[in-house]
Amino acid sequence: VMRVTPQPPSPAPSGTPEQSQARVVRYEHGTAQHTVDDAVAVEEPLEIRLGRYDEGRLQHRPVSITMRTPGDDFELAAGFLYTEGILQCRAQVQEIHHCGKGKGLTNTLRVDLSPGVTVDVQRLERNFYTTSSCGVCGKTSIEALATGAVPVAPPPGFAVDARLIGELPARLQAQQHTFRSTGGLHASALFSRAGELLTLREDVGRHNALDKVVGARFLADALPASDTILFLSGRASFELLQKAVMAGIPVVCAVGAPSSLAI
């Protein structure tokens, strides 16, 4: 397939990752056959800023830039700040809002802390740029990877039927509506121990999809997620496992094999 003409994005239904359209020429057996419109997953930068009160005045500073699929931005920001160890509970957040309206302005988002809340400024000073493919490559040192994760404590008697694990990919794919049309999104999903889908988020970035899932639980004041199963549509990387531990998730299943550091 050769893409020749990008088309403007079309509005996405509420809660659905954004899609764009591209005019493509389809080739079969080396010969151009016909031209069609193809769905493409949207990727745009999001700057996350943190607002906190200093001597009675609200000051804000940039924390991170990530390439993401627009949608569920509040959850993404909250989940990112939680899994990075900057936030610990929902009460610390006074408000989350985009910094403007109109084209491009919704790509900057601010998380305002409640009055009296303090954060680890040294951790914030490790500003980093996060790509959609890997969330740790921009961190400035190995020490920056230490987010204060502690061992996960599942509820007494927590167990998962081994047969259920093999069924999770199909249950996830049945709900990945945007992936079916674009083929370009990762997914993270929380299931109950019985296999009921609780939360599903898609994004061009694996870590973004998981941050959105964790952020949804954070904003609902439902962390730790100690009674859930996390399913990942890709491989089980170090950063995704670290985020799962931060969220208190006791079981992680993934399509791809884990790395040594993830283990």
Q: How far apart are CA 185 and CA 206, in angstroms?
A: 8
Residue 117 is encoded by which pair of tokens?
A: 């809340």
Active-site residue flag, 134? yes
**Any idea which residue has 């069924």 for tokens?**
167
| Sheet order of strands, 31-41 included | 2-10, 19-28, 31-41
* Pairwise CA distance, residues 231 & 202, whole Å: 12
Parallel, antiparallel or unpaired: strands 57-68 and 93-98: unpaired
| CA separation for the pair 187, 176 (Å, rounded) | 8
> How many angstroms separate the CA atoms of 185 and 22, rounded?
16
Give the C-alpha separation, 230 to 239, whole Å. Answer: 14
Candidates 89, 99, 134, 137; catalytic one: 134
Just list the catalytic residues.
134
